[in-house]
Amino acid sequence: MKICFVAPADNYHTKKWCRWFAGRGHEVHVVSFHRAVTENAELHFIDCGVGVRENDWKKLRYLLRASELRNILAEMKPDIVNVHYATSYGAAAALAGIKRYVLSVWGADVYDFPKKSPLHRLMLCFSLNKASYLFSTSKAMAVEAGKYTKKAFDITPFGVDTELFSPGKRIRAGDGRFIVGTVKTLSEKYGIDYLIKAAAIIHREYSDIPLELRIAGKGPCEKEYRDLAARLQVNGMITWLGFIPQEQAAEEWANMDAAVIPSTLESESFGVSAVEAQSCGVPVVISDIPGLMEAASPGVTALVVPRKDERALAKALVWLYRNPEAGKRMGEEGRKYVLENYEWNDCFSKIEQRLKMIRGGGTTPD
C-alpha cells in the first residue's frame, strides 16, 4: 500500500509507525507542519512558521494551509491517509475536504483541548465527525472521545519492540543498590515532582534503603525539578540523564529495580513507558490514570497509587524494596503480559489488517 501519515514528523510515535510500515514493504509518506529527518518515509513539509510548542492560536495557521494539504494528497494519490492528532492536523484535514481518511486521536487533543473553551470543543467535534474512521490507542481514550462523536473507534494500542525492551539488557546483580527511575518528558502532566518528593520521604524516613533515582528526559520543568531536588536535599541521590535514545532507554528500564510513571493528567492516554518497563521485566508503580492502568495489570505487574500522592508512592517503593521476591515475580509477569498484549509486531499487524480493510472498502482485508 501507499500510506500517507499526516502527522508531526519529529514525533517518536510517528517515526515508529513509519519504520514499521516501511519495513513491511509499504510506500510511506509523511505530510508534516514540522520539518524533521524521516529515514523511513518521504517527507512533504508544509511550512506554517509555527513551532511544536506554540500556543493554540498560533497553530490556527495550520488551517490556513488546508488547501496545500489537499493538493499534496491529490498529487500523491495514497491508498490510505492516516491523520494523527485530532485538533491540529485533524482540523486541517477536515477543512481540506479529504474524502476518506483515518483519524488517530492522541490524548491531549481529546482530554485537554475541548475543555479550554466552547470554540475548542467545536473544533474537536468537527474534526472527529469529518473523519471516515477513528482510531484510539486505548479504550479509556475512546470513551472520552465518545463524548464528542457518535462514531465508533478502533482500538490500536502502541506496541513495543520486545527484542529491544528486554530483560536481557540487565547487567546489574546483587550490587546492594535500590535503583528507581523514569523515562519521561519533564513536563507537569507526568508528575516527576511527586517522584522526587517520594524520594525525599524515603531518604528522610527510611534511611536504611539505599535509594538511587535516575531521571531521563528533557522538558520545560527541568529547572523547577532540579531546584525542588536541591530544596529537598536529595539532589545527591539523583542522576539526571537528559534526553536518551530508545536503545539507552531500554538499558535504563532493564537495570532499574522499580520503574515509576506518576502521571497526573488523564491525557496520558496510554502508558507506553509502562509497557516498555514491563517488557524489560521490571515491576512498575503507576498512578491511577485510566490509560496507565490499561497498559498494565494492576496488582499483578504493577502497583497503582493515587495521582499526586507522594506518600503513597513512597510507600509502594518501600514495599518493593522490602519484598524483592514479590517484585521479581511482578517483573516476570510484566514481561509475559507485554508479550501477550503489546508486542509491537502483533499490534501493528492488526492495524495493517484494518487499513487493508479500509482500503478495500469491505469487511475483510484483501
What does the pLDDT look like over 228-264, one tens digit per residue?
999 999 999 999 999 999 999 999 999 999 999 999 9
CA 53 to chain centre: 17
- Per-domain boundaries in the chain: 2-159+344-360, 167-341
d(C-alpha 19, C-alpha 345), whole Å:
12
CA dihedral 279, 249, 12, 334 (to 10 degrees): 10
pLDDT tens profile 308-340: 999 999 999 999 999 999 999 999 999 999 999
pLDDT tens profile 117-129: 999 999 999 999 9
- Is pLDDT above 60 for 364? no
pLDDT tens profile 49-102: 766 666 665 667 778 889 999 999 999 999 999 999 998 899 999 999 998 999
| pLDDT for 347 | 94
| pLDDT for 270 | 83
Name the average pLDDT for the chain.
92
> Average pLDDT, stretch 270-284?
95
What amino acid is encoded at 175 in this protein? D
Buried b (16+ CB within 10 A) or exposed e, 15-43: bbbbbbbbeeebebbbbbbbeeebebbee
| pLDDT for 43 | 94
d(C-alpha 235, C-alpha 82), whole Å:
44
d(C-alpha 11, C-alpha 235), whole Å:
30
Domain 167-341 has CATH 3.40.50.2000: yes
Q: What pTM does this model have? A: 0.86
Residue 143, SS3? helix
| pLDDT for 55 | 62
Reported confidence tier of residue 363, pLDDT bands at 50, 70, 90: very low
Strand extents, DSSP E, the chain: 2-6, 27-32, 42-45, 80-84, 102-105, 133-136, 153-155, 178-183, 211-216, 238-242, 258-261, 284-287, 302-305
| pLDDT for 268 | 84
> Average pLDDT, stretch 214-222?
96
Residue 254 burial by CB count (10 A; 0-12/13-18/19+): exposed, middle or buried?
buried
* Strand 133-136, strand 153-155: pairing: parallel
| pLDDT for 56 | 62
pLDDT > 90: what percent of the chain? 82
d(C-alpha 140, C-alpha 291), whole Å:
6
| Nearest one of 250, 241, 240, 309 to 282, comparing CA atoms | 250
pLDDT tens profile 192-203: 999 999 999 999
Q: Determine phi and psi for 242, rounding to 5 degrees.
A: 70, -165
Reported confidence tier of residue 37, pLDDT bands at 50, 70, 90: confident
> Average pLDDT, stretch 299-308?
97
Architecture of domain 2-159+344-360: 3-Layer(aba) Sandwich (3.40)
DSSP 354: H
